[in-house]
Amino acid sequence: MVFLKKVYRYNKALAIGMLFFVLVQLFCFYKGGMVFSPWYNYGMYSEVIKIEPHYEVYHGGYMPVFLRQLSPQREDKMYHTIHQFKSLAMNDSLFENEIMRIFRKLHLPDPKPENFKSSISKTDFRIWYQRYQLNWSRSALDLNKPEDVDNPAPAYWNGNELFTPRGFFSDSNDNPIFFK
């Protein structure tokens, strides 16, 4: 408050602008739901997260042996892209259940569905993903099972480690799969 008073004495418009920013930020913080750029909430893993008995994992058709050599940024590109693709269905429900409703409530013109729904087929995604991955992976990717890119497998937590069913990251003899 002392700071805002100093700003107010110097420049009223600046102080009002800052006060507005603070109030909207505190409002978003208090409500804790929808945000309005640039007013965000910085939760950073604040919700309760328990150990699950099983997780869904993807390998993106990537050779497992290279995974440990990936930088976090590249690992992010590899998995986050797949996770984002898998959550595309949520775009549709967000558009139909929330965006349309809020725009109508505020008497704004109806939003165009194509601006909010991203419709790409699995085949389209797989073709693009392989090409995309080639730009930053260390070796050429030659999938013989393209559906492996975005098909998840369960990984079970046994209290000691996560394990996947035989044949996901390894063949029936437990040797790592190389997608060549």
Partner 1 sequence: MWMYQMQPHFFNTRFDGTTWLFMQTGIHQWLLDNKAGWVLFDVLFYSMPLLYLLAYKRNIKWIPWVAFVMLVVNWAYAQCYTLYPTNSIEGHVGWLLYPFVLMAVRLKSFYFLMNAMRYFFLFFFASAAIWKLRQGGAFNPEQMSGILLMQHKEYLVSAPENWFTHFIYWLVKHQIVGYCLYLGSMVLELTFIAGFFTKKYDRLLLLLFFAFLVMDYFIMRIPYFEILPLALPLLFSKYSAPEGASSK
Query: Restricting to residues 87-126, which ones interact with partner 1 according to CB under 8 A?
Result: 87-88, 90-91, 94-95, 98-99, 102-103, 111-112, 114-118, 120, 125
Residues 38-57: x where in contact with partner 1 by CB under 8 A, - otherwise, as a string: x-xxxxxxxxxxxxx--x-x
Beta pairing partners, 55:
155
Q: How far apart are CA 177 and CA 180, in angstroms?
A: 9
**Which is closer to partner 1, CB of 48 or CB of 140?**
48
- Cis-peptide into 111, omega within 30 deg: no
Q: Does 151 bind partner 1 (CB under 8 A)?
A: no
Residues 20-39 that bind partner 1 (CB under 8 A): 21, 25, 29, 32-38
Residues 3-22 that bind partner 1 (CB under 8 A): 3, 6-7, 10-11, 14, 18, 21
Q: DSSP letters of 103-122?
A: HHHTTPPPPPGGGT-----H
**Which is closer to partner 1, CB of 65 or CB of 147?**
65
Residues 59-78 that bind partner 1 (CB under 8 A): 59, 64, 67-68, 71-73, 75-77
Contacts of residue 103, Cβ cutoff 8 Å, sequence gap at least 6? 109, 110, 111
Retrieve residue 59's tokens. 């390998």
CA dist 125 → 17, 26, 130 (Å): 44, 40, 9
For residue 144, the minimal CB distance to partner 1 (Å) is 18
For residue 90, the minimal CB distance to partner 1 (Å) is 8
Q: How far apart are CA 161 and CA 90, in angstroms?
A: 31
